[in-house]
Amino acid sequence: MTVKAGIVGWPVTQSLSPVLHGYWLKQLGIDGEMLRVPAQPDEFRDVIARVRGEGFAGVNVTVPHKEAAFALADRVDAAAKVAGAANLLVFHAGAIEGKNTDSYGLAESLRENIGALGGAHAVLLGAGGAARGAVLALESLGAGVIHILNRDAGRAQTLAAQLGPHVNARLVPGGLADWRSVAGSAALLVNSTSAGMGDNAPLDLDLSALKQDAAVCDIVYKPLETPLLKDAAARGHKTIDGLGMLMHQAAPSFEAFFGQRPQVDAGLRAALESALFGPK
């Protein structure tokens, strides 16, 4: 029998989840499908009830429903609890389990590219939902100090106060004006904002303040090389695009839905790049 799973969001037409899961389903020879499930903000609960009734194994959840998914779940994992959001709902008999795999995805992408941080300093740009997952990712890699910089420094302070009790790393909030004073100590810069994505204005950040051996990561994957990463590459920094996070965060979902842990490989990246930008 075909195992069904879904990706729920609004809009959801551009989601790459069917490409991701479809690649793994074919590779592993599993009879399954990942379906796009549109749900406007006021439809989320009804849509989840419908797909449960249709026998879905579970769903991934994207904007704007991650907080609603967290609220709907009967039980949640530690990452979802800290983030206050879930991007994965697994349907069990009589219960919905909520998980957050975003921090895992970012951590694995960073680990794949630069390894553990071993107490080093990191600078995180942004203080929204994505920043919450990024803090957990940096913590899991062993960051000693995480400077959280945001246009609204008050939001950075709030985030640091909320997450501080849950991590061993020291969280130091500030505004973007603090960039030059903290950049020189950083081994890694992570952009968790939407700056540089699509038509959004890029970050106005002087990367000359970074050490030459510092790495730069942007969680945006469209475009794959954001203005930030282009500038970093031109200066000789190691760069990490957002596609790695996207691929790795999907692996636990696939296992939850279809029962096998898939591998993130070059073929998957090629399939996603083709879906995003057309064949080379």
Catalytic residue set: 66
Rounded Cα gap, residues 84 and 51, in angstroms: 23
Burial (CB count within 10 angstroms: exposed 0-12, middle 13-18, buried 19+), residue 52: middle
- CA 248/CA 140 separation, integer angstroms: 15
Sheet of strand 95-99, all strands in order from the earlier edge strand to the far edge: 32-38, 3-9, 58-61, 88-92, 95-99, 75-76
The closest alpha carbon to 216, from 177, 242, 198, 182, belongs to 242
The dihedral region occupied by 119, where left means phi > 0, alpha psi between -120 and 50, and beta the remainder, is: left
- Using alpha carbons, list the distances in angstroms from residue 241 to 59, 70, 84, 198, 246: 25, 27, 25, 15, 10
**126: DSSP letter:** -
Q: Indicate the DSSP class of residue 203.
A: P
SS3 call for 16: coil
